[in-house]
Amino acid sequence: TPGLYIVATPIGNLGDLTQRAATTLCRADRILAEDKRVTAKLLKHIGATAPMTAYHDHSDEQLRDKIVSELATKAVALVSDAGTPLISDPGYKLVRAARDAGANIVTVPGPCAAIAALTVAALPTDRFLFAGFLPSKSGARASAIGELASVRASLVFYEAGPRLHEALVALAAGLGERDAAVVREITKLHEDAVTGTLAELAEKYSAAAPRGEIVIVVGPPAERAETSDDDLDQALDEALESMS
Ligand code: SAM
């Protein structure tokens, strides 16, 4: 069926490519890739032969218009280098344009580092905020962290090895004493998750920068002791009684 297919791909282990993702890529008339060399390896592995076009959200409007005009008659698949498109990866502007044009848009879900990290971080998952990459300049980073400090949810950040230590130091400074996890190389040979407070983790990663791709998960702020309605009712009853 013609339309735009948003296809998640593995984040390190080819075994995580879903059957539906493979079928969709094999049947596609065109595949939009972030980096054609990276995607070529995946396509070779599954025997997909559709032509590839490089696509980024900063690709020019003309290319986007051309792609959108194809969607009425062709099956076009969007993939990124790894994981789920649009999640700290290109695709938002394209999906927006396709939606505006009334095109058929289909998601083919699969691996996503943020979600995978949450499953092993041993931190609350009932409410979380995906914060993507922190700004690399220290001032902008501190204010981005400041904006998140009052959010009552776990926080999920993407990071790269060389920047891990400074990110942890900035998080410890801006968020205070919180439990956190550094989850590295998910689904790869050296997958690991290290847990501790932000200060402990900053200390632990102060020497050599760890290799590979990283997700930082930070637990929510400590609950403030709140007064419930029942507590208030009881206090009122007691006060009234003492007056009679
Ligand atoms: N769209 C991707 C997804 O669904 O997870 C994320 C793309 S983003 C450009 C790349 C970042 O994702 C990395 O810097 C890292 O923070 C995280 N990441 C991707 N693969 C990972 C893995 N195998 N282990 C840990 N983090 C990973």
Per-residue pLDDT of 28-83, as tens digits, reads: 999 999 999 999 999 999 999 999 999 998 988 999 999 999 999 999 999 999 99
81-111: pLDDT as tens digits: 999 999 999 999 999 999 999 999 999 999 9
What pLDDT shows up at residue 225? 64
The more confidently predicted of residues 85 and 242 is 85
> Each residue of 159-203: pLDDT tens digit?
998 999 999 999 999 999 999 999 999 999 999 999 999 999 999
pLDDT of residue 224: 72
Query: Can you give the pLDDT at residue 163?
Result: 94
How many whole angstroms from 214 Cα to the centroid of ligand 1? Answer: 7
ipTM of predicted assembly, 2 dp: 0.99
Distance CA(163)–CA(160), nearest Å, equals: 6
* Region for residue 38 given its phi and psi (left: phi exceeds 0; alpha: psi -120 to 50; beta: otherwise): alpha
User: What pLDDT shows up at residue 228?
Assistant: 65
Query: What atom in ligand 1 is closest to the CA of residue 185?
Result: 24
52-54: strand order across its sheet: 52-54, 30-33, 75-78, 3-7, 105-108
Asked if the model's pLDDT at residue 244 lies above 70, the reply is no
Residue 128 has pLDDT above 90, yes or no: yes
pLDDT for the residue numbered 47:
98
Q: Quick one: average pLDDT of 196-214?
A: 94
CA–CA dist 214, 133 (Å, integer): 11
* Whether pLDDT at 208 is above 80: yes
Would you state the pLDDT for residue 145? 98
Q: Determine the pLDDT at residue 207.
A: 87
What pLDDT does 42 receive? Answer: 98
Q: Which of 215, 216, 217, 218 to mutate to test the pocket of ligand 1 (most atoms within 8 A of CB)?
A: 215
Please name the residue that has the structure tokens 């698949």. Answer: 77
Mean pLDDT of 142-162: 97
Identify which has the larger pLDDT, 218 or 226: 218
Give all strands of the β-sheet with 213-218 in edge-to-edge order. 128-133, 154-160, 213-218, 179-184, 192-197
Q: Which of 163, 214, 216, 218 to mutate to test the pocket of ligand 1 (most atoms within 8 A of CB)?
A: 214
pLDDT above 90 for 243: no
Q: By alpha-carbon position, which residue is closest to atom 13 of ligand 1?
A: 213
Q: Which atom of ligand 1 is nearest to the CA of 183?
A: 25
- pLDDT on residue 237: 77
pLDDT at 233 over 80: no
How far is Cα 208 from Cα 90, in angstroms, rounded to an integer? Answer: 31
Cβ burial, residue 51 (10 Å; 0-12/13-18/19+): exposed
pLDDT at 229: 67
Please state, in angstroms and rounded to a whole number, the distance separating the CA atoms of residues 180 and 194: 8
HEC profile of the chain: CCEEEEECECCCCHHHCCHHHHHHHHHCCEEEECCHHHHHHHHHHHCCCCCEEECCCCCCHHHHHHHHHHCCCCEEEECCCCECCCCCCCCHHHHHHHHHCCCCEEEECCCCHHHHHHHHCCCCCCCEEEEEECCCCHHHHHHHHHHHCCCCCEEEEEEEHHHHHHHHHHHHHHHCCCEEEEEECCCCCCCEEEEEEHHHHHHHCCCCCCCCEEEEEECCCCCCCCCCHHHHHHHHHHHHHHHC
Check pLDDT > 80 for residue 11. yes
Give the predicted TM-score (pTM) of the model: 0.91
* Alpha carbon distance 231, 237 (integer Å): 10
Pick the closest to residue 102 from 76, 71, 77 (CA basis): 71
Written as six digits, the tokens of 68 are: 């959108």
